[in-house]
């Protein structure tokens, strides 16, 4: 999820496997004893896994995700550095060093386990350790999908809708885990529907109300996993209607224009309100609502 500092995204600390609901300078003394270890992509000497059970290290997980991005999903290869910080204090210090103001850095480190931006992902490794390897793979795939969004946007975040950034990252992570035999997309959709239903249809925020970082954070503080679930379902239906290439084109348009409404219309041939009406109709029709 995006912070107000440019170039980064955040995901919740309590990341679960996608099928269950699938983001230093100021503290020099602390960082000296808490420097991150780094993983740089590409890693041509490491063989990608063919099944999630073969993944027991971060380097193999990252290499496998990168290969699926390129070979299975048709996304371009891109360099990225993953920085693993040992705990919340060093993670918070890294956020301060990347441009976050102190209050935002503290809040981010308290509630989030990773942030991804242009060719870089920062992670609080202590939040990953309790997770299963499929959950870790899903989290890394989600973050690297955010990095792709920056890549398509010319290295900047732009003004693209937060719900679509998060929904598409969730969709990509699900596809990666599906390719590795960890989950099925039908199971993911079923779980996301359940998350939305638990919130209650009347409480589901409109997509337009989840367009900015500030509104996304406020809504997630109130509603938990449900906004991620609705964002995933929105991205899923958008891809069903227009294809993955149209979503890629949407993010590419922000390299030239910050007009989010015009870019949505240009990429998908419909405005956001019309799409959301179609989305809710589709969810009701096939039982996803």
Q: How far apart, in whole angstroms, are the C-alpha atoms of residue 244 and residue 120?
A: 23
Produce one character per residue of 256-270: b if its CB has 16 or more CB atoms within 10 Å, e if not.
eeeebeebbeebbeb
Rg of the chain over all Cα atoms, to the nearest angstrom: 18
What stretch of H or E contains 219? Answer: helix 213-223
The domain segmentation of the chain, as residue ranges, is 8-285
166 vs 103, more confident: 166
Contacts of 87 (CB under 8 A, 6+ apart): 34, 124, 125, 126
Residues 251-289: tens digit of each pLDDT: 999 999 999 999 999 999 999 999 999 998 888 876 656
Nearest to 168 by CA among 247, 276, 259: 247
- Position 287 scores a pLDDT of 63
Tell me the average pLDDT across 78-93.
96
- Position 25 scores a pLDDT of 34
Residue 5 has pLDDT above 60, yes or no: no
Share of the chain above pLDDT 70, in %: 87
Q: In which region does residue 152 sit, left (phi positive, over 0), alpha (psi from -120 to 50) or beta (all else)?
A: alpha
Residue 7 has pLDDT above 80, yes or no: no
Q: How far apart, in whole angstroms, are the C-alpha atoms of residue 189 and residue 87?
A: 33
Nearest to 170 by CA among 286, 6, 20, 13: 20
Contact call for residues 100 and 108 (beta carbons, < 8 A): yes
CB atoms within 10 A of CB 56: 9
CATH topology for the 8-285 domain? Neutral Protease; domain 2 (1.10.390)
Residues 29-41: tens digit of each pLDDT: 334 446 899 999 9
Confidence of residue 20 (pLDDT cuts 50, 70, 90): very low
Do β-strands 120-124 and 80-85 pair in parallel, antiparallel, or remain unpaired? parallel
- Position 288 scores a pLDDT of 57
- Position 64 scores a pLDDT of 98
Residue 16 has pLDDT above 60, yes or no: no
Partners of 10 in the beta sheet? Answer: 115
Nearest to 165 by CA among 257, 232, 69: 232
- Position 157 scores a pLDDT of 80
3-state secondary structure (DSSP) of residue 227: helix
């Amino acid at each position: 999820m995006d912070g107000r500092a440019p170039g980064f995204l955040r995901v919740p600390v309590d990341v679960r496997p996608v099928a269950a609901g699938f983001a230093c300078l100021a503290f020099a003394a602390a960082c000296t004893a808490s420097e991150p270890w780094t993983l740089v992509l590409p890693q041509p000497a490491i063989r990608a896994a063919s099944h999630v059970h073969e993944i027991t290290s971060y380097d193999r997980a990252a290499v496998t995700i990168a290969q699926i991005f390129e070979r299975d999903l048709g996304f371009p290869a891109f360099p990225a550095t993953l920085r693993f910080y040992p705990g919340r204090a060093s993670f918070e210090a890294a956020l301060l060093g990347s441009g976050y103001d102190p209050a935002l850095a503290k809040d981010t480190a308290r509630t989030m386990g990773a942030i991804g931006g242009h060719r870089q992902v920062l992670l609080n490794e202590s939040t990953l350790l309790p997770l299963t390897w499929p959950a870790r793979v899903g989290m890394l795939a989600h973050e690297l999908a955010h990095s792709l969004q920056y890549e398509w946007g010319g290295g900047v975040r732009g003004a693209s809708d937060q719900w679509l950034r998060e929904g598409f990252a969730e969709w990509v992570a699900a596809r990666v885990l599906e390719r590795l035999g960890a989950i099925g997309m039908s199971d993911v959709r079923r779980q996301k529907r359940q998350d939305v239903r638990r919130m209650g249809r009347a409480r589901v925020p409109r997509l337009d109300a989840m367009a900015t970082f500030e509104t996304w954070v406020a809504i997630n503080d109130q509603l938990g996993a449900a906004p991620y679930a609705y964002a995933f379902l929105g991205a899923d239906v958008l891809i069903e209607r227009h294809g993955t290439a149209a979503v890629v084109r949407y993010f590419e348009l922000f390299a030239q224009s910050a007009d989010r409404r015009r870019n949505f219309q240009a990429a998908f041939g419909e405005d956001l309100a019309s799409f959301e009406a179609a989305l809710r109709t589709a969810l009701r029709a096939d039982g996803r609502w």
